[in-house]
Structure 1
Amino acid sequence: MSNNTEKPHTSQEEDDDEPDEWDKRIFSTGCHAEQDKMNDCYFAKKDWRECKQEMEAFRECWKQKGNDQRTQTKDA
């Protein structure tokens, strides 16, 4: 009996590098870099209040790329 605990690679694992539907939607907005920075900030700080600059950069990008009209987004 082998003590090797590594799993063999499956096609599911190999496909992990491929963009999924969420990634494709984010890329289509033209603001994926801003979205990544916003999420990274939240992941690091666990408090959206500490990520106001990243959120504002994402919001501005969203508007500049015309996503408000495309998705019928409304500011509160």
Structure 2
Amino acid sequence: MSKSESDSKRAAAAEDDDEPDDWDKRIFSTGCAGDAAENTRMNDCYYDKKDWRLCKDELEKFRQCWKQQQNDKRTEMKDVKDA
């Protein structure tokens, strides 16, 4: 394989990587994703701190967004506190 073929394949792979996968589509459908949204802040907190226990505020904001968007009804998920 020539260098130009290798570079072309790498560029194509990088381009494909920018496309939302099934996981991304599911997250976006919650209404709690996107620029500076709850999902992003929650993931950024975990990335920075490496401990979910230190991200309680971000998790709670995501939970409130999840409920506000009625995802609990859509996914038939029950809150542990409500059970």
Mark yes or no: TM-score above 0.5.
yes
Give 1:46's aligned residue.
50
Query: Greater RCO between the two (CA within 8 Å, min separation 6)?
Result: 1
Normalising by structure 1, report the TM-score: 0.85
Give RMSD over aligned pairs. 1.4
Q: Which runs of 5+ in 2 are unaligned?
A: none
Question: What is the alpha-carbon distance in structure 2 between the residues aligned to residue 9 and residue 19 of structure 1?
Answer: 21
Give 1:61's aligned residue.
65
Give 1:19's aligned residue.
20
Question: What is the alpha-carbon distance in structure 2 between the residues aligned to residue 67 and residue 14 of structure 1?
Answer: 31
Q: Which runs of 5+ in 1 are unaligned?
A: none
1:75 equivalenced with 2:79 (yes/no)? yes
The alignment covers a number of residue pairs equal to 71
- SS for the counterpart of 2:7 is coil
